[in-house]
Amino acid sequence: MLEILLYGRGGQGVVTAGELLVRAYVSEGNYAQSIPFFGGERRGAPVFSYVRLSDKPIYLHRSIYEPQMTIIFEPSLKNTIKIMGDIVVINSNAPEKLAQNTYYVDANKIARDINLVIAGWAVVNTILVGAIAKVTGLFSFDSLDNAIKSYFPEKYVQINSNAAKKGFDEVKKIE
């Protein structure tokens, strides 16, 4: 079982990212959970969501305490959490090594380039989910693309599908 922490700011689509991971992974015959934490949400405040992925039924419903993988949606958040596990994927254009395996993608730039912006906020979730598909190899890009199609209203499918593909193609590892 792989446990993932998704950590971002209200408005960046953290909960949606978790749900897309679940849809994509389940569509390949597996089991998964997306567990958002709800508190005093407002746009810009730090928010987090957890994901469990497993090839067997999942009985746990508690929170995740020691994620093996952390996804950081906003560069400024990197110093506000203790990183656990040895895989980090971060939205950053000037990344530093945060874990043994640190991957980065400049999701803010991609989102602005393709105009995936809502109320001034670059929406980076599908870009990062594309990056996760590439980094983990746990599900195919096609499965993610189908998850996006099943999730968004039709008018938002293409832009999010493009965003995910860019995240998938452009994510890099810090050597």
Residues found near other proteins in the complex (CB under 8 A)? 18-19, 22-23, 26, 30-36, 38, 58-63, 65, 150
Nearer to other proteins, 64 or 98 (CB): 64
Determine the Cα–Cα distance for residues 175 and 142; give it in Å rounded to an integer. 28
CB 93 within 8 A of CB 108: yes
Residue with tokens 């597996």: 30
Q: Helix, strand or coil for residue 122? A: strand
Nearer to other proteins, 62 or 155 (CB): 62
Instruction: Tell me the β-bridge partners of 3.
Output: 52
Q: How far is the CB of 143 from other proteins (least distance, A)?
A: 12
Q: How far is the CB of 65 from other proteins (least distance, A)?
A: 7
Nearer to other proteins, 30 or 101 (CB): 30
Q: How far is the CB of 25 from other proteins (least distance, A)?
A: 9
Nearer to other proteins, 59 or 175 (CB): 59
Q: How far is the CB of 15 from other proteins (least distance, A)?
A: 8
In Å, how far from its chain's centre is CA 91? 10
How is residue 73 written in tokens? 């949606």
Nearest to 20 by CA among 153, 129, 160: 129
